[in-house]
Amino acid sequence: MNFLEERIVKDGIVKPGNVLKVDSFLNHQMDIALMDEIGKEFHRRFKDKPITKVLTIEASGIAIAYPVAREFGVPLVFAKKSKSINIEGEMYVAEVESFTHKNVNQVIVSKKFLSPEDHVLIIDDFLANGCALQGLISIVESAEATVEGLGIAIEKGFQDGGWRIRNLGYQLESLAIVESMDAETGAIEFREQ
Amino acid sequence: MNFLEERIVKDGIVKPGNVLKVDSFLNHQMDIALMDEIGKEFHRRFKDKPITKVLTIEASGIAIAYPVAREFGVPLVFAKKSKSINIEGEMYVAEVESFTHKNVNQVIVSKKFLSPEDHVLIIDDFLANGCALQGLISIVESAEATVEGLGIAIEKGFQDGGWRIRNLGYQLESLAIVESMDAETGAIEFREQ
């Protein structure tokens, strides 16, 4: 097991309905040392790519993407889930269905921050059905920028998002891929990588 | 002018209605080197306090609070704006009115992550009418934890949020306090600190 898998086993909580709670260290309270380690690991995996921007989606994605952008020395851009009156002008827009909240969000990125010259690393905390990632890919493609890869902290390997995105030919790196979880025993099984 | 005021003058855009757009470096696209400098500055200003947690509010607050938590070597907790089905059990709740979005949000923090032993530094990107900060203060007080101080990147000095919070006796540190802005000329005047 790698450092993130070990932490999930130690502090993650399996709930009925294939819910994995990691809110004590990853997506509500954050262990910054762990985040920094995640940043270093994604840098190691994508360091041969000419990354110019790191793109994520609010909110918890920001804390994963921050140390990644820091390692690459590039700006961090986060997609917003609702239109703000403080944001004017032209936007890239994608529709994203939220598994957690059971609704559809428009996600938007200002056209100022993605251009055809950009080589983008997309980062998020969770991958399940892949809707959020596909929205971010669609936004990068709308900008005629290049998706250089996608980095995910925790992938639910028993849902098809990862398969669909790898099938499109993208380099998708998930630090932990959960194959199965048992809410009764709390057992978590990871995919060998 | 300090480093943040200089950056606001260089890259901030004044819009009618007292809107200051800093989305190219602070709250949509983030300049990580600037964020790290903000983190160091807040550490310098609060380093004599026994901080155990940094608390912020999603989404853009996370990118300011991350380097602060990193400097203090403590966990980062962010308040969420809507109830998620992945969050069960007991929550601290406060109501916060959004100046930007013209609506009222419930903000919530899991009771697991704040306790009476905690000494909390509250961090956010903007302070205008102070509703978000007051919601966060209320959450810390619900936990019977101690608010050790509040750190803000940009305060709108012509709105009364800063006055109200300082009047309650809190140490509120704003790196840049905008006294006035002129959308016609783009001029921005800062409070001498």
The answer for residues whose C-beta is within 8 angstroms of residue A127's C-beta and 6 or more apart is A133, A152, A154, A155, A156, A161, A162, A165, A172, A174
B63 CB near a chain A CB, below 8 Å? yes
CATH of domain B3-79+114-190: 3.40.50.2020
Mean pLDDT of A31-57: 98
Domain ranges of chain B: 3-79+114-190
- pLDDT confidence of A101, banded at 50, 70, 90? low
Measured between beta carbons, the chain B residues lying within 8 angstroms of A71 are: none
Class of domain A3-185: alpha beta
pLDDT at A108: 93
Q: Which residues pair with B178 in a beta bridge?
A: B156, B190
Contact A142, A136 (CB under 8 A): no
Residue linked to tokens 């026994």:
B50
Q: DSSP label at A89?
A: S
Report how far apart, in Å, the C-alpha atoms of B124 and of each of A54, B119, B160 are: 22, 17, 16
- pLDDT confidence of B87, banded at 50, 70, 90? low
The answer for residues whose C-beta is within 8 angstroms of residue B28's C-beta and 6 or more apart is A77, A78, A80, A87, A109, A110, A113, B60
Considering only the beta carbons, identify the residue of B19, B28, B66 that sits closest to A63. B66
Q: DSSP label at B173?
A: E
Mean pLDDT of B73-83: 90
B83 CB near a chain A CB, below 8 Å? no
Which chain A residue lies closest to B112 (C-alpha atoms)?
A24
Considering only the beta carbons, identify the residue of A29, A32, A73 that sits closest to B66. A32
A112 CB near a chain B CB, below 8 Å? yes
pLDDT at B84 over 80: no
- pLDDT confidence of A103, banded at 50, 70, 90? confident
Measured between beta carbons, the chain B residues lying within 8 angstroms of A85 are: 100-102
Left (φ > 0), alpha (ψ -120 to 50) or beta: where does B74 sit? beta
- B153-164 pLDDT per residue, tens: 999 999 999 999
Q: How far is B1 from chain A (nearest CA, A)?
A: 24
Round to the nearest angstrom and report the end-to-end CA distance of chain B.
10
- B118-164 pLDDT per residue, tens: 999 999 999 999 999 999 999 999 999 999 999 999 999 999 999 99
pLDDT at A25 over 50: yes
